Amino acid sequence: AGATAGTAGPTVLHNGTDTATFLKPDALPGFSQQEYYEADEILKLRQSALKKEDADLQLEMEKLERERNLHIRELKRIHNEDQSRFNNHPVLNDRYLLLMLLGKGGFSEVHK
């Protein structure tokens, strides 16, 4: 009943039997109370170290996200400055020298 096409004998499952039932795993060797306490302390220390590392990584990710957004805004500003009709830095009204585009929106541009 457990044989498949191309094999001669019954199918052997992971627990060494040919029955398709779940078996209880072998019992682990018992720990003393001191060993349980030490293992618990080790796990708590690992957990706190991982939480600290996770918090540090989260802060780094937020910092990089802010830097990325600032970089994108600066790229847009530079692109808008290059596309501006005042990109050759003219002197307006024989008085105002346009140095750089600070921002653009709607139908206006703000220059320094």
pLDDT in tens, 63-109: 999 999 999 999 988 888 888 777 777 777 778 877 777 777 777 77
Q: How far apart are CA 101 and CA 88, in angstroms?
A: 11
Q: For residue 27, tell me if it sits in a domain.
A: no
Whole-number pLDDT of residue 4: 52
Domain assignment present for residue 90? The answer is yes
The verdict on residue 3 lying in a domain is no
Token couple for 92: 């307006």
Q: Is residue 81 part of a domain?
A: yes
Answer whether residue 45 is part of any domain.
yes
What is the count of structural domains for the chain? 1
- Which residue range(s) make up the domain with 53? 33-111
pLDDT in tens, 9-60: 556 566 566 666 777 777 667 778 888 899 899 999 999 999 999 999 999 9
Q: What length is written for the chain? A: 112
* Cα 38 to Cα 42: distance, rounded to the nearest angstrom: 6
In a domain, 7, yes or no: no
**Element of type H or E holding 58:** helix 33-83
Task: Give dist(CA 110, CA 12) in Å, integer.
Answer: 79
